[in-house]
């Protein structure tokens, strides 16, 4: 009974969040979600597979300012456009698509594949599959963990404390919630098959592995789960070999079912390319010799455990899973290591449009066994129950709150850094310190220390200006970049349209600068309206470069100048106000290993040749005293 209540509660929470965020109204009009979804309207309604011009035109009707993803599709050797996204998600979405299509035909709403009923029904499919996946997962856990409270704890932690919630209620239409459902189903089928190895079970396992591969190609390694499940010793390995020989016919059925599931994809490839196997990801690649596994797990740029810390208990539970669910140990370890290697060898290891590492969502059903083992190990201790409930409540709050932050544009996890993450942590609004931390990865100091900061630093509790170390008023009119047309003060300003600007420099020894001091770096900037640049990555940056005698960089920080011009709200999305002068400034803490022989310089770095004017650059020394 408690299990049913849990599923109902999770379903209500997901449904409320789905409507509250309302991103389903836009999610399928672009990005990966559109790439998966477009197979349906292009095949069933517009019949423009391999061209997609009609589908794109209808999509543009509802989202006129969205980027045209068809322009990014490469053309195959036979002249047709290739949608690189596989068919699995579209097949799972199809029942909901057909419901929306029937509704539109009966109600008179445009049955074009992109009107609101389609967006709503297909968006809703994401959370429905997620909830089904959690329910199936609880059934699978029941075979090893009889305590219902433990299964409920795992379900609540995964359902509300991980980025499954984000992907199911906010960025709907991505492949990962569907894969979560398929992996949970595969686990239940495998557990039941080894208890009762029949033909139907073999076919279902092969079909599910095939469907997983059809949904996301690297997930072909899901075949390790049925292959290694229950293999926990050399004796068990020999028994598995004997089992496979005994059930050769069933293994043949599994392989046949697997191959049958891949037929739709092969037919699609043949239609658009003339080949039964075709690489749709042209120009994208794996870097097999340089996997970013550590970054993928703990980097502030979408690191898995940074944004889904509750799953650290599942990792710790790997030490205990052999005691409570020994069958899951080697499948989990083997799959996890190979999966990490594959997904973090991808060129975009941080996976844009994620809240944490989104390819780890599909691994959570497998990790639920180690999660449950961790809870079981300490469940009998009262201190653990109290601590566990408090931690679980905190992680659930944090996950939901940060999902809300993303929906409000306060948190941008796929461009985050350490300083920005902690500056925005727990906040309901942004400010200058947050925006500066986002661009520079520099935590801005409190002018007045309070509390523990004051205690740790004695009486040095006020950050004060010590001296001006260097300044450049851009009055050297001998260079062509100096102009009297636009200036902040004096007779000249600097037209910054080359890669490096005039700057300031000093040596720590000459100015009695100490490790741990703060530098305040500033420059005034001005951009004409017709020369505004709205992409942050292309904007010129105010750079601080600390380097040794050997030229080796000790510290490097930068801040987009335009983003600071009249940024009154401290928004990370702000790109500047044209036709006004504004100051771009930030504090940089000097490294503890700073030497008197080191060098410090500041300048504007402009690799994209943004057209802007700068004036009155300055470096100030600040110190707590």
pLDDT tens sequence across 537-584: 889 999 999 999 888 999 999 999 999 999 888 899 998 999 999 999
Residue where the block lists tokens 């068919």: 87
Q: How far is CA 349 from CA 333, 414, 478, in A?
A: 21, 10, 47
* 472, 389: one domain: no
Contact between 557 and 488 (Cβ < 8 Å): no
CA distance 447 to 73: 51
Kindly state whether residues 74 and 144 are assigned to the same domain.
Answer: yes
pLDDT in tens, 201-250: 999 999 999 999 999 999 999 999 999 999 988 888 898 889 888 889 99
Predicted local confidence at residue 307, as pLDDT: 97
User: In terms of domains, do 381 and 496 share one?
Assistant: no
Residues 329 and 455 in one domain: no
Q: Are residues 459 and 561 in the same domain?
A: yes
The answer to whether residues 369 and 456 belong to one domain is no
Total tally of structural domains belonging to the chain: 2
Residues 377 and 456 in one domain: no
Answer with the one of 359, 374, 396 that is the final residue of a domain.
396
Q: Which residue has the tokens 């080191």?
A: 598
* pLDDT at residue number 450: 59
| In a domain? residue 116 | yes
Which domain range does residue 56 map to? 2-282+302-396
CA distance 314 to 380: 18
pLDDT for the residue 536: 82
CATH of the domain at 550: 2.60.120.260
With respect to residue 410, please indicate whether it lies within any of the assigned structural domains: no
Give 153-197 pLDDT, tens digit per residue. 999 999 999 999 999 999 999 999 999 999 999 999 999 999 999
pTM (two decimals): 0.92
Joined together, the tokens standing for residue 430 give: 């942004």
67 assigned to some structural domain:
yes
250-300 tens-digit pLDDT = 999 999 999 999 999 999 999 999 999 999 898 899 999 999 999 999 999
| Position 235 in a domain | yes
Inside any domain, residue 419? no
| Whether residue 472 sits in one domain with residue 336 | no
Per mean pLDDT, which of 1-10, 125-134, 575-584 is the most reliable?
125-134
Question: What residue has token string 């997983």?
Answer: 212
Q: Residue 148 falls within a domain, yes or no?
A: yes
Angle between helices 116-141 and 88-107 (to 10 degrees): 140
Claim to verify: residue 391 and residue 499 sit in the same structural domain:
no
Helix residue spans in 274-381 (DSSP H):
293-298, 304-307, 312-316, 321-324, 329-343, 364-378
Which of 365, 396, 427 is at the close of a domain? 396
Residue 388 pLDDT class (50, 70, 90 cuts): confident
Is 594's pLDDT higher than 80? yes
Task: Give mean pLDDT, residues 44-63.
Answer: 91
* Digit-coded pLDDT (tens) for 429-488: 999 999 999 999 999 998 766 555 555 555 567 899 999 999 999 987 777 889 888 999
Q: Looking at residue 278, what is its pLDDT?
A: 93
Same domain, 57 and 151: yes
Residue 418 falls inside a structural domain? no
Q: Where are the beta strands (DSSP E) in 473-567?
A: 482-483, 493-496, 504-506, 518-526, 541-547, 553-560
Is the pLDDT assigned to residue 109 strictly greater than 60? yes
- Does 9 reside within a domain? yes
Residues 462 and 341 grouped into a single domain? no
Q: Six-digit token pair at 439?
A: 């661009």
* pLDDT digits 0-9 by tens, 309-322: 999 999 999 999 99
Whether residue 445 contacts residue 463, with contact meaning beta carbons closer than 8 Å, is answered with yes
Burial class (CB in 10 A: 0-12, 13-18, 19+), 564: buried
One domain, residues 469 and 391: no
Instruction: Express as a percent the part of the chain with pLDDT over 70.
Output: 97
């Amino acid at each position: 009974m408690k299990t049913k209540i849990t599923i109902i509660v999770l379903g209500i929470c997901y449904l409320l969040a789905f409507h509250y965020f309302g991103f389903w109204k836009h999610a399928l009009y672009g990005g990966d979600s559109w790439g998966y979804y477009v197979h349906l309207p292009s095949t069933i309604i517009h019949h423009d597979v391999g061209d997609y011009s009609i589908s794109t035109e209808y999509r543009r009707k509802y989202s006129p300012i969205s980027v045209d993803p068809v322009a990014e599709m490469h053309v195959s050797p036979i002249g047709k456009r290739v949608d690189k996204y596989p068919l699995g998600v579209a097949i799972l979405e199809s029942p909901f698509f057909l419901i929306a299509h029937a509704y539109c035909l009966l109600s008179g709403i445009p049955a074009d594949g992109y009107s609101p009923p389609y967006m709503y029904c297909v968006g809703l499919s994401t959370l429905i599959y997620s909830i089904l996946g959690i329910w199936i997962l609880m059934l699978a856990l029941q075979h090893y963990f009889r305590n219902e409270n433990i299964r409920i704890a795992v379900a609540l932690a995964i359902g509300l404390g991980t980025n499954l919630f984000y992907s199911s209620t906010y960025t709907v239409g991505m492949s990962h919630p569907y894969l979560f459902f398929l992996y949970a189903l595969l686990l239940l089928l495998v557990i039941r098959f080894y208890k009762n190895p029949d033909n139907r079970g073999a076919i279902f396992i092969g079909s599910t592995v095939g469907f997983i591969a059809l949904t996301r190609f690297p997930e072909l390694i899901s075949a390790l789960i049925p292959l290694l499940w229950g293999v926990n010793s050399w004796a068990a390995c020999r028994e598995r070999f004997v089992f496979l020989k005994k059930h050769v016919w069933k293994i043949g059925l599994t392989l046949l079912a697997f191959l049958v599931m891949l037929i739709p994809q092969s037919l699609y490839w043949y239609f658009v390319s003339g080949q039964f196997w075709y690489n749709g990801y042209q120009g994208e690649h794996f870097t097999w010799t340089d996997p970013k596994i550590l970054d993928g797990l703990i980097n502030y740029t979408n690191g898995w455990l940074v944004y889904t810390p509750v799953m650290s208990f599942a990792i710790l539970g790997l030490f205990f899973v052999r005691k409570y669910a020994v069958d899951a140990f080697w499948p989990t370890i083997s799959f996890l290591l190979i999966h990490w290697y594959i997904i973090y060898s991808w060129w975009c290891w941080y996976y844009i449009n994620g809240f944490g590492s989104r390819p780890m969502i599909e691994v959570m059903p497998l990790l639920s066994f180690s999660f449950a083992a961790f809870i079981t190990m300490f469940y009998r201790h009262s201190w653990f129950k109290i601590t566990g409930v408090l931690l679980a409540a905190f992680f659930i709050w944090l996950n939901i709150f940060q999902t809300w932050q993303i929906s409000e544009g306060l948190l941008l996890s796929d461009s985050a850094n350490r300083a920005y993450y902690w500056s925005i942590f727990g906040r309901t609004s942004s400010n200058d310190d947050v925006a500066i931390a986002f661009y520079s990865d520099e935590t801005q100091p409190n002018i007045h220390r309070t509390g523990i900061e004051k205690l740790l630093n004695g009486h040095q509790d006020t950050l004060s200006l010590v001296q001006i170390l260097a300044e450049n008023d851009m009055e050297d009119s001998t260079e062509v970049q100096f102009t009297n047309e636009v200036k902040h003060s004096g007779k000249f300003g600097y037209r910054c349209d080359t890669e490096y600007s005039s700057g300031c420099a000093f040596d720590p020894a000459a100015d009695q600068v100490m490790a741990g001091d703060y530098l305040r770096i500033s420059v005034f900037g001005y951009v004409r309206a017709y020369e505004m640049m709205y992409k942050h990555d292309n904007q010129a940056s105010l750079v601080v470069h600390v380097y040794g005698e050997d030229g080796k960089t000790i510290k490097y920080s930068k801040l987009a100048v335009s983003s600071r011009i009249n940024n009154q709200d401290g928004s990370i999305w702000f790109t500047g106000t044209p036709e006004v002068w504004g100051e771009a400034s930030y504090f940089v803490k000097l490294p503890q290993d700073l030497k008197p022989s080191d060098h410090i310089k500041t300048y504007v770095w402009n690799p994209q040749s943004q057209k802007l004017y700068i004036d009155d650059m300055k470096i100030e020394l600040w110190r707590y005293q």
